[in-house]
Chain A
Amino acid sequence: MRTTTVLSAIVAAGLTVGAATVEAQTSANIQATAQVLSALTVTAGKDLEFGNVTPGVNKTIAITDAGAGRFDVNKATGSDVALSFTLPANLTSGANNLPIGTWSGGWNTAATPAGATGFDPATGPTTTGSTASGTLTVYVGATVNPGAGQAAGAYTGTITMSAVYF
């Protein structure tokens, strides 16, 4: 009987212990990891639009005009990017040329040509410097010089802007 009582007590204690472990927690960890890469983005944002052009009448689009072309550059803060251009001397339509030149340019850390740092796209690269802002807006203007007898046609050309990271 005594043995039974002792054993019953032991069993009861064991069950009590068991009851204490019925709701148990355990946990583990993993990591979430990523490596952020700095990037350089160059996009052609807007046409250089001359609209209608009259034969024999030069037409100029300044960088402050609504028709100015626009490129957008996003670079890492603290980096320096040089901008250079490959520009056509003529727009062509078959055997016909439409001269284009007197290029003008300006870059700004704000999305406005007002206050832009001017440069000549036709000469060597312009360095933007290590700007606090990583966003640059680059404006381009030019003059088309149609002859008096300029033929009608589809005139095309290519403007290339290179963003050079040193």
Chain B
Amino acid sequence: MAILRTLGLVLAAALALPLVGRAQGVLVAPHAVVIDHRTRSGSLSLYNPGDQPSEVSISTFFGYPVTDSAGEFDLRTVERPEASMPSAVGWVEAFPKRMVLQPKERQTVRLLARPPAGLRDGEYWARLVVTARAGSVPVTGVDDSSGITVGLNLEVRTVLPLQYRKGPVATSVRASSLKADVKGDSLAVRLSLVRQGTAAFIGTVRGALADSTGRTVAAFSSPVAVYYEVEPRFAAALPGGRLPQGRYRLRVEVTTEREDLPPETLLAARPVRDSLELNLP
């Protein structure tokens, strides 16, 4: 019993990075990569912002964003892409694939493409995964006399889109099934977006709700990535958490503008607009 009582004090399970304030991870730039077939190369900059070395590895897989029944985005992973899928996995490689980044060290990773002969014009996709780990971890909160140690490895992954473009590519989106409803203190909007053309549609959805006088009472703006088909959910906070009864008009616009991406990587397309009238009792 005495032994058990002693042992009982000493199980220390911890996510044990014991150095207070030590951060382990990696900074990845840019956060979206576009490679042109004419150069067949791109690059990533990696930077270790922490004060400990970071083991970094880079891999690829095929995946694309989808939405669930609630309109939340998720990444669908396809282990073995079908021949009809525009996968660049298998012929885009990172050099180096593994490295140890010292604190405050920066490393450029080259992305080289060796596409198959006869590749048709179009856009091909892959996801880059940059994994950073701290290595094995020492102990915190442990009674040394117990001889028990506990450690937990922390790993962070950054998953980025890679688009490989050969020849002329174009994109657009078809918007339909616009729906809106007041849910709690927000206006919930759903919109079906189906990609047209030969390249993923990368852009922004903006919505504005106006009252009968034309005054905007609520608005939202959200980045979107439409590879196949998505039906995302957007939310606009309502002033004071509620809307007075009356007639409102919701206008939605889908454009290829993105403030977080270099404009030269974006494919332009004509804005798509939709609207609906809301009558609130």
Contacts and interface: CB of A to CB of B under 8 A. Distances in A.
Interface of A: 37-57, 69, 71-72, 74-80, 82, 91, 98, 100, 124-127, 129-130, 144, 146, 150, 152-166
Given A44-B17, A49-B141, A80 B11 contact: no
Contacts of B153: 156-159
Contacts of A50: 12-14, 141
Contact of B31 (A53, A79, A157, A158): A79
15 contacts: A38-B260, A40-B27, A42-B156, A43-B26, A44-B24, A54-B9, A56-B8, A69-B15, A78-B260, A125-B74, A154-B148, A155-B13, A158-B152, A158-B154, A165-B161
A51 B14 contact: yes
Given A43-B23, A45-B23, A71-B156, A82 B13 contact: no
B217 to A, nearest CB: 20
Given A41-B49, A52-B141, A54-B9, 14 more contacts: A44-B25, A49-B141, A52-B142, A56-B8, A71-B25, A75-B31, A124-B72, A152-B147, A154-B151, A156-B137, A158-B153, A159-B154, A161-B155, A161-B156
B216 interface: no
Contacts of B4: 55
B12 A166 contact: no
Contacts of B49: 41, 43
B7 interface: yes
A72 B27 CA distance: 11
B45 interface: yes
Contacts of A159: 15, 152-155
B109 interface: no
Interface in B113-157: 129, 132, 134, 137, 140-143, 146-157
